[in-house]
Amino acid sequence: MKIDRRALFGLGGAGLLGGFLLWGRGEAGAAPGDFPVRFSDEEWRRRLTAEQYSVLRRGSTERARSSPLDREHRRGTFVCAGCSNRLFASEAKFDSGTGWPSFFRPLPGAVGTRPDNSLLARRTEVHCRRCGGHLGHVFNDGPRPTGLRYCMNGVAMRFVPA
């Protein structure tokens, strides 16, 4: 049986794990030496809100439908909340119905991926190429032209209007 984020949280946020504010992978984020933007854990805690730190540096997930970025429809760019790396153009955003900002394509060279086998599912984690911050996951159920759904945590990003 294939389990994805929609099945676990339910489209209304009342799924199996919908009542939890955040869940984590139980492991630290990216190793400090792996990315061009590096800060000590203490410095990351100073630079980020508690929720941003939990998501970007510890791999947690924000509660579905909690981010205003899910409802952001202006022209502009979505950037990493940790390092301001340009991640997604507004033209690649679509309403996936999942409660998280979703995109069908990142900007060139903006993100990296790695396997994530936590939470009883095989998924692909998406992280910022500059700071290694956890952004969300990518799934193969998105719209054309890519068929991909980059399901991102809004708290891990900021929106910069055009």
Q: What span, in angstroms and rounded, lies between the C-alpha atoms of 59 and 62?
A: 10
| Residue position matching structure tokens 């061009």 | 36
Q: Are 78 and 101 spatial neighbours (Cβ–Cβ below 8 Å)? A: yes
Whether 83 is a known active-site residue: answer no
DSSP per residue, 15-64: STTTT-S-B--SS--S-GGGSSS---HHHHHHHS-HHHHHHHTT--BPPT
The catalytically annotated residue of 80, 128, 131, 151 is 151
Residues 6+ apart with CB under 8 A from 54: 22, 24, 60
Positions marked catalytic: 151
